[in-house]
Structure 1
């Protein structure tokens, strides 16, 4: 009898222990594991946030530099084509360096391949002395607007020169054709370049042959 009672007591203790484990300890352990996982995730997020805060502090410390860089980008690659402003800069540069522009032409913006930018092609023909041309090209490079020169052709300008020769009476009726001689440093330049813009706004094609339209004056009687 005592053995049976002892056996029931042991079995009851085991059942109570099992129930205590499954109903109390096991759920609590599961919650502890979940809490540990959440803590690990929070620590990972904290590390990421700290890295982001460090990056933002770098941005804050260099805010003026970034703003300056953004301003330079806006000047070199504007949102709108701003062709009129570029032509004004080009005309001012030509007047400053002393070159003589004979023609300027431009095309409408076209999207650059593999890019979100748009390009405008500008063709320019002008004449000038060697150092005038050199100054113009350096000035073109120093413009705030980004200009990529694709082709550049330079040729010496030839001037007509009359040839004086001794002639006889029989050759008086002969006509001497003037010969061409190259001027010392004057060059004829043909240039093709690209401008960049971030806008799809189309601009009218500009063609300037460098000659103004003059009206016909009436003859006074």
Structure 2
């Protein structure tokens, strides 16, 4: 639809030129009248193209103004619950710190990354922690860590990464589904060792024109 709208002025111009050619063959108009008619048509076509350019410029400016990014730090890490975050640099207020969910503001391709540092109790035969990335309630990515016979102050990093093509209104969140007893995720505000980040890689501009 966007392409047909853009080329509409050219179609109109070709139609008028065709009519002008046929009229010329009948010699019903003077040369001056024909040139005046052609000038009027060309000006109308230029005006339409200028309007299209303005519309596209406004659309690009709107996309740039609503660039989507998020970076939040974990506040709570209760097993089998969605993460609740304490601070956010989310552009456009798309990240709800209370629910822990990111609501997609604009359709497009997004990249998400969850990185964490798990701390384990000492002298335990087996410890583990597993996180899932959810897309509208469906698991779409996972990452975790598992250790055995842990030592004092032992910790291990893990992460979840995913690139998704999303629609406006989709919901994304991180959730811990499996965690061994006494295992924790570092959540000190100054260390930034456990955080959820993401940004829009590409927006579906054509679909919205």
TM-score by length of 1: 0.27
Higher strand share: 2
TM-score by length of 2: 0.28
Higher helix share: 1
